[in-house]
Amino acid sequence: MNAANRSVCILLLAGAVLAGCRDRDKETPLPVTPPPPVTPPPPVTPPVTYDGARPGTMVQSEKQKFSVDTVAAGLTSPWGMAFLPDGRILVTEKAGQLRVVREGRLQPGSIGGVPAVYTNGQGGLLDIALHPDYASNGWLYFTYAAPGPGGGGTTLARARLQGDALTDVQTLFQAQPFLPSGVHFGSRIAFDGQGHVFVSTGDRGTPAQAQQLTNHWGKIMRLRDDGQVPADNPFAGTAGARPEIWSYGHRNVQGLYYDGAARRLWAHEHGPRGGDELNRVEGGKNYGWPLITYGVNYDGTPVSGATQGPGLEQPVRYWVPSIAPSGLAVVSSPQYPNWQGNVLVGALVGTHLARVELTDGQYAREEKLLNKIGRVRAVAQGPDGYVYVLTEGPGLLYKLTPR
C-alpha cells in the first residue's frame, strides 16, 4: 500500500472512532428538564485531584490554599463526629461503636453504654452532636436505628459522658412506625440555639410515606431539646398529623445544618438516580418527594415525570448525576476568609467535597474539592475554626489547614 492510500485509511479509521465516541455520549442522557426557577449549574470546574494516600498534600483551590492533614486513621464505617471542650473528638461508627480521637490518635476500644442498634443495611449508629450549652449541662445527642417490634426506626437520644461510658441515656424521639426495611434512615442533628433540636429521617424505601403526615418517614422533625413538642410546630394542631414534623416530602436527609447568623436551616438529601438536592428548609413546607424530582428510578424509568408542582418547594441546588451527599456545614470561621458563607457538602459516590457559593441565599456556583479522596460521610467546622472531613472506605479523619 502506497503512502497516499495509508493516509486515507488512517483518516477513515479516525473518523469512525470519533463517531463511535459521539454515539456513546448520546446513549445515557437522563430525561430531566430544569425549570426556570432553578439556575442551571455553571460549566464544571476542573477538579482538584487529591490522592488520599498522601497526607499533607498541598491544595491550591480557586479561593483557598490549604493542606490536607490526617487527624486519625483506622475507623470502620464512621458516620458522625462531635468535638469535646477538652480537645477530644467523638466519632460514631455505624456498627454501634462510639470512638475517641485524642491528640491525633484513635484510642483503642470504644465508649460504653451505647444502646443496641439495628444494623440492617444502612441502619446503625448515625449522627452525634453536643448541646449548645454542653459546657454547663453535659448533654450529648446522637441518632441511631433502634431495633423494635416491626423492625427498626430512627431514634434521637441524649446522654452524658462520664469517663469511658455514657450515662443517663434518654430516648427523646423515635420515628414511627418501625419498619423492616434496611434503607433511608437519615439521619442528622442540628440545634438552632433557641432551645430546639432538628432531626432528619428518610422515607425507608417507601416514597409515598414522605407525603403522609401520619408517619415520621421522609421528614425533618423539630423538638424542644428535652424531646417535647413545641406548641408552634406547623402541624401541632393538625388532626392525625405527627406533631413533631417540621417539613416533609424528603427522600433521605443526611445533611442538616442550622445557620445561626442567617437564621436558616439547610438540608440536603439523596435523590434516586440523579436529583440530589440542597434545600433551605422552612416550617410546614413540602419539598416534593416523590411528586417532583430531578432524578429517575434506578432502572431509568420516570419517578413522576414532573420537576415542579403547585405547593412544592424547589431546591436551591440539585445534582444530576448524583453525588450522594452526606454531611453539611456552612463556613463561618475566619480561618477561611474567602469561603465565608459557603456551603460544604460531602459526596459519597462523588468521592469529593463540594464547595457551594450562594448569593442572597441562592445558588451561584460550585467548586469540587478533594476529588477522589474517598467516600465523604461527614464534614464539620470544629471549635478551633478548622474544617474536618470524615471518610469511609478508608475510614479517615482529615483536617483542612489553611496555608
- The one catalytic residue in 131, 184, 196, 352 is 184
- Integer CA distances (angstroms), 233 to 200, 228, 283, in order: 15, 11, 7
- Integer CA distances (angstroms), 83 to 89, 100, 150, 346, in order: 5, 10, 35, 19
Question: Catalytic residue at 184?
Answer: yes
Q: CA-CA distance, 335 to 332, in Å (whole number)?
A: 9
- The C-alpha angle 189, 141, 95, rounded to 5 degrees, equals 85
Q: CA-CA distance, 136 to 261, in Å (whole number)?
A: 23
CB 325 within 8 A of CB 254: yes
User: Beta partners for 218?
Assistant: none
Within 152-275, residue ranges assigned H as helices are none
**Which of these, 178, 176, 198, 196, lies nearest to 187 by C-alpha position?**
198
User: Residue 87 carries which side chain, given as an amino acid letter?
Assistant: G
- The C-alpha angle 322, 378, 160, rounded to 5 degrees, equals 145
- Supply the residues annotated as catalytic: 184
